[in-house]
Amino acid sequence: MDRLVIQGGQPLRGRIRVSGAKNAALPCLAASLLTPEPVLLSNLPAVADIRTMVKVLQALGTEAALEPEGEGFELKARLACGGSEDPKAPYELVKTMRASILVLGPLLARFGQATVSLPGGCAIGARPVNLHLEALERMGAVMEISHGYIHATLKGRLKGIDHTFEKVSVGATENLLMAATLAEGTTVLRNAALEPEIGDLAHMLAGMGARIEGIGTGTLTVTGVARLHGCEHAVIPDRIEAGTFLCSVAAACGDVVLDRCEPDHLRALLDLLERAGCVLTEREGQEGRQLRIQRECGQKLHSKDIVTQPFPGFPTDLQAQAMAVMTQATGISVINEGIFENRFQHAMELERLGANLRAEGHRAIVAGPSELTGCTVMATDLRASAALVIAGLVASGETVVDRIYHLDRGYAGLERKLQGVGARIQRIGGGKV
């Protein structure tokens, strides 16, 4: 089992190229089921979840070829789903990657039936899918749940609905948006999630011939069409990967430029880090927007409170990383996790490194700055792993982060990118993603 070994205390200096967004790539891959024509997706991050989603698509009858692009941190996928006799997304794959549920809407829209394993919970929470199922039922699908699987059937085509999600859900918005593109009539999705990944999916669908109004707003209006055609689409940069690197510099000090990121997707974090005392500058680079973050060694950080919320609020996927930063800030930081019910598992591991914090229910209180000293810590979920790496970059001595298969699900070459800006970090164990 791979682990990362980090010698902390080294400021980070140089440039990092941000990869494509995992959470945009996954729904875009699922959207390829909506057409028999070839779809070419690029700037996909070379991470385990992408490979798993491609395996799910292949199990559903998609011909898929993945090839590396760039410096090996990205992948290009050529996909074509000519047909699917009895579309079934198997438990063995779905249990390793919950986002497989995103094939449900496209399969119903295209083939009128689907069998998808219930994803089950994960380390950060129960992760129910009721919002997906309720809305698809309103569109005419009949859902039967047995033996851990969703058996969805449909007479004729999905029907357009005017639907208000009772809770903002990224996945449910994506599933219904895809389903609505081939439905009969018009679908209005209200209280839709605003995350940039949804806008990216919508732009891809529009490129396939879908008719969508209100992209980027909380009300999406989709006029169903008879069929969609193939497309070429490059996914947006990964705002959570970019935010993870910004938090790394804020915690460990230094001066780093991020290439190919989108500052507008990160305003809540940029505001927090600026108010905490970091210097952030944005400019146009050869490959799109750039973000530079500076925190001089010895420069004091001010503690700030954090409440995670749906976009454009502070992202839950950066809560763990920001907690690692706040262990180095002077004062008390109150962190409220407003999205998931169990997303503080990194807190106990940060305490083992010497952080002074208490986590209870939806709230954690961090008192800083703390002297962190290296030890062996265990990753529990994707973003918690990133928080432990950040803390390891700060801690004196050696930190070993175990079970980094969690990290490999969502970060392409994290240790290599950090080595590129001077971090003393090595992967041992030799496994390949």
Please choose, from the candidates 402, 331, 410, the residue with its C-alpha nearest in 3D space to the C-alpha of residue 365: 331
Site string for ligand EPZ, 248-277 (x = CB under 6 A): ------------------------------
Q: Which of 57, 59, 64, 129 binds ligand EPZ (CB under 6 A)?
A: 129
Known active-site residue 122: yes
User: Is 339 near ligand EPZ (CB under 6 A)?
Assistant: yes
Is the alpha carbon torsion for 267, 272, 277, 278 positive or negative? negative
Q: Which is nearer to ligand EPZ, 34 or 172 (CB)?
A: 172
Q: Which residue is nearest to ligand EPZ (CB)?
A: 171
Among residues 28, 81, 122, 297, the one annotated as catalytic is: 122
Question: At closest approach, how far in Å is the CB of 352 from ligand EPZ?
Answer: 22
Question: At closest approach, how far in Å is the CB of 98 from ligand EPZ?
Answer: 6
Strand 74-80 and strand 363-368: the pairing is unpaired
Q: Which of 5, 118, 252, 382 binds ligand EPZ (CB under 6 A)?
A: 382
Choose the binding region for ligand EPZ from 145-153, 167-175, 178-186, 272-280 (rule: CB under 6 A). 167-175
Question: At closest approach, how far in Å is the CB of 128 from ligand EPZ?
Answer: 4
User: Is 221 near ligand EPZ (CB under 6 A)?
Assistant: no
User: Is 172 near ligand EPZ (CB under 6 A)?
Assistant: yes
Q: Which of 86, 144, 167, 232 binds ligand EPZ (CB under 6 A)?
A: 167
Residues recognised as catalytic: 122
Catalog residues that contact ligand EPZ under the rule CB under 6 A: 23, 26, 99, 125, 127-132, 167, 169-172, 193, 316-317, 339-340, 382-383, 410
